[in-house]
Structure 1
């Protein structure tokens, strides 16, 4: 019996060993991944990148606008105007019982603009005189006024000339102060609107309220220039 050949073992397939990444290759791959856009790494839509860019642009714009506004405010920040009454005169003062007062008064008011770069303009300006918080003259409308930088302007409005009804107690108090004290406390009130102007920049119109409290020497029947016994700087509210 012929000898049977034994089956030969099949040769083993030798697979080449996998290429090992060097440290330099790993660093290069890592740099490529980090440099890739978020949409490429994570599949985010490109629209998200555009929104982020737009938001960043808006934030930068608002910050720059705020810094510019702050610089302009520091350079042009306006100081309020200053008012002071320097003289007062009475040309008529008639007290009629029980509750009527007729008076004609004139006040000289000096107003100063302390700003070097900002000017003022006034309109709808009116003035009244009050005694113990009650008006004793009707409102008088003053002409518009433009106040240059670092300048002083004098106003001399004449108020009154019309009989004004007041409380009977007010008439009695005024008569007593004229007869016994010879000192009467009056208040000159100026109201209107004003606007700041710095170069070509103009602000919106603001309401302005000026209150000047005075102590004047006044005797019954006296007419003419009054001595000012107390005339502090007027209070200005803008």
Structure 2
């Protein structure tokens, strides 16, 4: 066999090597992305917004038989963004009022909201306006509480939010807010009612 007929050395390229190289490249990219996300989180560490109820008005509250509750209420909510570098987008917000664990107003849609860092915004949604079926204990409880002059209510806000830090925006997170309040209310009264107790709302993200 002369030199021209000597077999060529085997090629280092093969489909298996190509797949291995692609897998390594993807792994490296995922590691880099993970480290970058961790660095961003450690720098910004977005905190949950803080909600509080600072005002309330009751324009109508009636329970009839068969058990139906009809009411119109307005609550003033302060929302605080405690983050220094992170803004918040609120999407698909809705609010309603519950009494003893049962909704007494239908959900009301709230407008989308952009919340700058280290700022406070105010919302004053009017809730109710339509009759809602209720258990008998709800109507009886409201009658007793109004006679006593103190009614415990829960204002609920649900929706989704996104955090924004510079050019970076996160995906959506579920927002679930529960604000328990005690209002001074006698049957037949309409208008602004005193807040007898209004602790900070519980916020889950």
Shorter-chain TM-score above 0.5:
yes
**Count of residues in correspondence between the two structures:** 195
Report the counterpart of residue 5 of structure 2 in structure 1: none
Report the counterpart of residue 198 of structure 2 in structure 1: 231
Equivalent residue for 1:173, pick from 141, 148, 171: 141
Tell me how large the CA RMSD over aligned residues is: 2.3
Alignment of 1:29-108 (within 5 A): 63-108=31-76
Q: Which has the higher Rg, Structure 1 or Structure 2?
A: 1
Equivalent residue for 2:167, pick from 180, 200, 212: 200
Check 1:55–1:178 CA distance in 2 against 1; reply closer, same or farther (3 A cut).
closer
Check 1:93–1:60 CA distance in 2 against 1; reply closer, same or farther (3 A cut).
closer
1:15-69 CA-partner distances (Å, limit 9, x unpaired)? xxxxxxxxxxxxxxxxxxxxxxxxxxxxxx967xx79988877766555444332
Partners of 1:100 and 1:207 in 2: CA distance: 31
TM-score normalized by structure 1?
0.74
TM-score normalized by structure 2?
0.85
Partners of 1:186 and 1:60 in 2: CA distance: 53
Flag structure 1 segments of 5+ consecutive residues without an equivalent.
1-44
Whose helix fraction is larger, Structure 1's or Structure 2's? 1
Partners of 1:176 and 1:61 in 2: CA distance: 64
Preserved CA contact (<8 Å) 1:91 1:105: yes
The answer to whether 1:212 aligns with 2:179 is yes
Partners of 2:184 and 2:167 in 1: CA distance: 47
Check 1:63–1:156 CA distance in 2 against 1; reply closer, same or farther (3 A cut).
same
Preserved CA contact (<8 Å) 1:86 1:110: yes
Alignment of 1:138-177 (within 5 A): 138-177=106-145
User: Quick check: 53-62 or 88-97, which moved more?
Assistant: 53-62
Check 1:140–1:59 CA distance in 2 against 1; reply closer, same or farther (3 A cut).
closer
